[in-house]
């Protein structure tokens, strides 16, 4: 088969074809749930699945390119093909996606000489290697090779960042050089000169917007007089940041905008069809004068929610789509009021039975406790430095780094960070917490008591900036540390091994004796066990806890924070098992409770209304 761009339409084997696509990021969904999410996209009436490719997830270091398990992009695309659907792939190299560092590997920028999203030899050389590593996955899965891929996007909303046609030309050439033959696209907001600045005549321009479809398409047509109109990011919701409300958009309003888009003859990629979750330490952040880390949930108020269930928006969008294209018959479980679950992923039939709903909520007491300090031998690999090294210099992409030095302060003093804390530091002396320095508050100073002993700063990367000029910046204590203006030297530093947690640390926790009491004084690990009859999706609620990280059966669910908005962490069913299960929590501060809840329903927090 052949896919091409005609004067007015996309052409599939020479016939006009409308793309009805939905975004699913394979790296935000447990791989055992990919088939379920793809099938549900088809049931809404979509014919295409779009995904970004997260370069930094695949390449945690320069000599590694991981395509296994949850990063098996080839398997994901094969599932799309088995469903009889097409695929749009957006390998970047920059993706934004509210994903840490916008998908760019931190190690690209450790020596300070490599450019970011520009015509610079170091950056383009790394991009070339990245694309060559992707070639065995993408090239044979193009539609003209019998695969599902019909479009590939070059860069991502570049017009909002820069205007360098030479850079874009070289990126386009690199994509072609690995054997990609399908049409190439660009995407930009139809505002100002972004469409012109972010594309080339050889890249088919598409728009990104979530409202005012008619006027947005008019601006797109002005920038590109011929060819099919497409919104390749139809924003149907929005992401959440810690400390804000849970974002929602009215289903009727979004459906009306989708109707306007399709009535104008446009193709669409719904961003997101299913958002998923920023598991582990993968969330990004924004910094437009104030640093704002993205929440763990990436529900996005999408047609398929974080739990994989159809929402009112699913049914509203489906009603719009069926005016323009045939849609499959919904199984009873997918109708409004149904469970939203599919019994199987049999590709030969659209008649699928509902699965039994999950059991009742469970309370889990975390009866075994171990301080962070007691687990440090299993979590650390210390090195010594004259000044506090960055996370990047230590080879830490994310998570936590512990910094230590000895101080002699008979009268106390004021500790200052030279430039910036990136992103949050818990300061303690001889094991007693003194206070917290937060990037969000622009904190750079804290008073220390009189002490002769060990000064520690537990620094958390809360998410690398994913949008704008601060992409690629290092993490840690930037600009050095001084007390009363005198620099502190002779530091020890170590990243904490938390994703995954080492077996030695888990063994220490498992061997801890159960204790009484309710309160927890952090930084501290607490763990408990619970039994399940079946392994259905669950949602971990941590009422009374303040801030930290949680794991279930060794799988890192991500960060929690009492400031919200989200009140639960998603626990994918494939992570659980019938019988005994274990939950581990790292509480950084203190908790008034030692009981958590395993719920059957998520709680993403308060909305603006």
pLDDT for 334 equals 83
pLDDT for 348 equals 31
Across 115-134, b (16+ Cβ under 10 Å) vs e yields: ebbebeeebbebbbebbebb
Domains 3-334 and 362-370+499-599 agree in fold: no
* Percent with pLDDT over 70 in the chain: 97
Domain boundaries, the chain: 3-334, 362-370+499-599, 381-495
What is the residue-wise DSSP string for 85-128?
Answer: -EEEEE--S---TTBGGGG--GGGGTTS-S-SSSS-HHHHHHHH
Paired tokens of 181: 């033959």
pLDDT for 359 equals 58
Distance CA 442, CA 445 (A): 9
pLDDT for 609 equals 67
Residues in the chain: 609
Model-level pTM?
A: 0.96
Q: Is the pLDDT of residue 396 over 60?
A: yes
Distance CA 353, CA 332 (A): 7
pLDDT bucket at 360, cuts 50 / 70 / 90: confident
Across 61-88, b (16+ Cβ under 10 Å) vs e yields: eeeebeeeebbbbbbbbbbbbebebbbb
For the stretch 287-339, pLDDT in tens is: 999 999 999 999 999 999 999 999 999 999 999 999 999 999 998 888 888 87
What is the residue-wise DSSP string for 46-89?
Answer: --EEEEE--HHHH-SSTT----SGGG-HHHHHHHHHHTT-EEEE
Summarize the confidence of residues 402-427 as an average pLDDT.
Answer: 97
Query: For strand 424-429 and strand 383-385, is the pairing parallel, antiparallel, or unpaired?
Result: unpaired
For the stretch 424-477, pLDDT in tens is: 999 999 999 999 999 999 999 999 999 999 999 999 999 999 999 999 999 999
pLDDT for 343 equals 61
In terms of C-beta density within 10 A (0-12 exposed, 13-18 middle, 19 or more buried), how is residue 519 classed? exposed
Contact partners, residue 82, CB within 8 Å, separation at least 6:
347
Q: Is the pLDDT of residue 347 over 70?
A: no
Preceding peptide of 423 cis, ω within 30° = yes
What is the topology classification, in CATH, of domain 3-334? Answer: TIM Barrel (3.20.20)
The label of the residue with tokens 């300061």 reads 427
* Percent with pLDDT over 90 in the chain: 94
Distance CA 138, CA 131 (A): 9
Q: Is the pLDDT of residue 340 over 90?
A: no
Query: For strand 48-52 and strand 20-24, is the pairing parallel, antiparallel, or unpaired?
Result: parallel
Active site residues: 157, 233
Least confident of 119-123, 216-220, 340-344: 340-344
Q: Is the pLDDT of residue 580 over 50?
A: yes
Class assignment of domain 381-495? mainly beta
For 262, the 3-state DSSP assignment is: helix
Distance CA 498, CA 280 (A): 9
What is the residue-wise DSSP string for 471-532?
Answer: TT---EEET-EEETTEEP--EEEEE---SSPPHHHHHHHHHSPP---S-EESSEEEEEEEEE
Contact partners, residue 559, CB within 8 Å, separation at least 6:
281, 283, 296, 462, 547, 548, 549
- The alpha carbon of 365 is separated from its chain's Cα centroid by a whole number of angstroms, namely 30
C-alpha torsion angle, residues 414, 415, 417, 418 (rounded to 10):
60
pLDDT for 337 equals 81
**CA 236 → CA 144, 212, 414, 600, distances in Å?**
31, 12, 48, 26
- The 8 Å CB, 24+ separation contacts for 349-353 are 350/43
Query: For strand 538-541 and strand 595-599, is the pairing parallel, antiparallel, or unpaired?
Result: antiparallel
What's phi and psi for 174, nearest 5 deg? -65, -40
For the chain, what is the mean pLDDT?
95
Paired tokens of 231: 């919104």
- The alpha carbon of 496 is separated from its chain's Cα centroid by a whole number of angstroms, namely 21
pLDDT bucket at 117, cuts 50 / 70 / 90: very high
Is 462 within 8 Å of 423 (Cβ atoms)?
yes
For 577, the 3-state DSSP assignment is: coil
Is 282 within 8 Å of 254 (Cβ atoms)?
no
Summarize the confidence of residues 272-279 as an average pLDDT.
Answer: 98
Least confident of 158-167, 205-214, 340-349, 376-385: 340-349
**CATH architecture designation of domain 362-370+499-599:** Sandwich (2.60)
Q: Is the pLDDT of residue 509 over 60?
A: yes
Is 53 within 8 Å of 89 (Cβ atoms)?
yes
Is 205 within 8 Å of 188 (Cβ atoms)?
yes
What's phi and psi for 263, nearest 5 deg? -65, -30
Name which of 420, 415, 414 is nearest 441 in CA terms: 420
Name which of 231, 306, 226, 246 is nearest 273 in CA terms: 306
Distance CA 235, CA 549 (A): 29
Distance CA 70, CA 500 (A): 14
For 603, the 3-state DSSP assignment is: coil
């Amino acid at each position: 088969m052949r896919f091409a761009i005609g004067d007015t339409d996309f052409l599939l084997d020479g016939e006009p074809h409308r793309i009805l696509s939905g975004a699913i990021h394979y790296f935000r969904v447990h791989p055992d749930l990919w088939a379920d999410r793809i099938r549900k996209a088809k049931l809404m009436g979509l014919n295409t699945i779009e995904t970004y490719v997260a370069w930094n997830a695949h390449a945690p270091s320069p000599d590694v390119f991981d395509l296994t398990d949850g990063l098996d992009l080839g398997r994901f695309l094969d599932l799309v093909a088995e469903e009889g659907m097409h695929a749009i792939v957006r390998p970047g190299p920059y993706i934004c996606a509210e994903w840490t560092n916008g998908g760019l590997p931190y190690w690209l920028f450790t020596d300070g000489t490599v450019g970011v999203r520009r015509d610079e030899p170091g950056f383009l050389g790394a991009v070339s290697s990245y694309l060559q590593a992707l070639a065995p996955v993408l090239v044979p899965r193009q539609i003209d090779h019998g695969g599902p891929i019909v479009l590939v996007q070059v860069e991502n909303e570049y017009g909002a960042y820069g205007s360098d046609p030479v850079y874009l030309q070289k990126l386009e050439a690199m994509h072609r050089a690995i054997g990609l033959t399908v049409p190439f696209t660009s995407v930009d907001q139809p505002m100002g000169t972004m469409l012109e600045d972010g594309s080339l005549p050889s890249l088919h321009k598409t728009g990104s917007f979530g409202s005012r479809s008619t006027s947005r398409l008019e601006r797109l047509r002005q920038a590109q007089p011929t060819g099919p109109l497409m919104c390749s990011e139809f924003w149907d919701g929005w992401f959440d940041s810690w400390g804000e409300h849970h974002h929602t958009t009215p289903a009727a309003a979004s459906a009306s905008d989708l109707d306007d888009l399709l009535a104008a003859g446009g193709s669409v990629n719904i961003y997101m069809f299913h958002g998923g979750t920023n598991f582990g330490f993968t969330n990004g952040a924004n910094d437009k004068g104030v640093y704002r880390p993205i929440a763990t949930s990436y529900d996005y108020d999408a047609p398929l929610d974080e739990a994989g269930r159809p929402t009112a928006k699913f049914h509203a969008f489906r009603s719009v789509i069926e005016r323009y294209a045939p849609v499959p018959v919904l199984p009873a479980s997918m109708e409004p009021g149904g469970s939203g679950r599919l019994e199987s992923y049999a590709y030969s039939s659209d008649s699928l039975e509902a699965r039994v709903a999950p059991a009742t909520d469970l309370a889990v007491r975390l009866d075994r406790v171990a301080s962070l300090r007691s687990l440090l031998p299993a979590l650390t690999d210390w090195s010594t430095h004259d000044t506090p090294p960055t996370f990047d210099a230590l080879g830490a992409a994310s998570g936590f780094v512990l910094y230590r030095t000895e101080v002699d302060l008979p009268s106390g003093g004021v500790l200052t960070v030279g430039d910036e804390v990136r992103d949050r530091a818990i300061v303690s002396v001889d094991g007693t917490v003194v206070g917290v320095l937060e990037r969000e508050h622009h904190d750079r100073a804290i008073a220390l008591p009189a002490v002769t002993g060990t000064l520690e700063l537990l620094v958390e990367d809360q998410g690398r900036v994913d949008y704008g000029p601060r992409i690629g910046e290092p993490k840690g204590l930037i600009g050095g540390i001084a007390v009363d203006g005198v620099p502190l030297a002779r530091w020890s530093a170590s990243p904490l091994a938390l994703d995954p947690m080492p077996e030695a640390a888990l063994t220490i926790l498992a061997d801890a004796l159960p204790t009484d009491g309710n309160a927890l004084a952090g930084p501290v690990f607490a763990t408990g066990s619970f039994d399940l009859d079946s392994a259905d999706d669950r949602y971990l609620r941590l009422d009374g806890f303040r801030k930290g990280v949680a794991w279930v059966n060794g799988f890192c669910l991500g960060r929690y924070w009492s400031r919200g908005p989200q009140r639960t962490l998603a626990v994918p069913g494939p992570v659980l098992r019938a019988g005994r299960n274990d939950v581990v929590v790292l509480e950084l501060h203190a908790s008034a409770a030692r009981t958590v809840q395993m719920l059957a329903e998520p709680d993403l927090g308060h909305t603006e209304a």
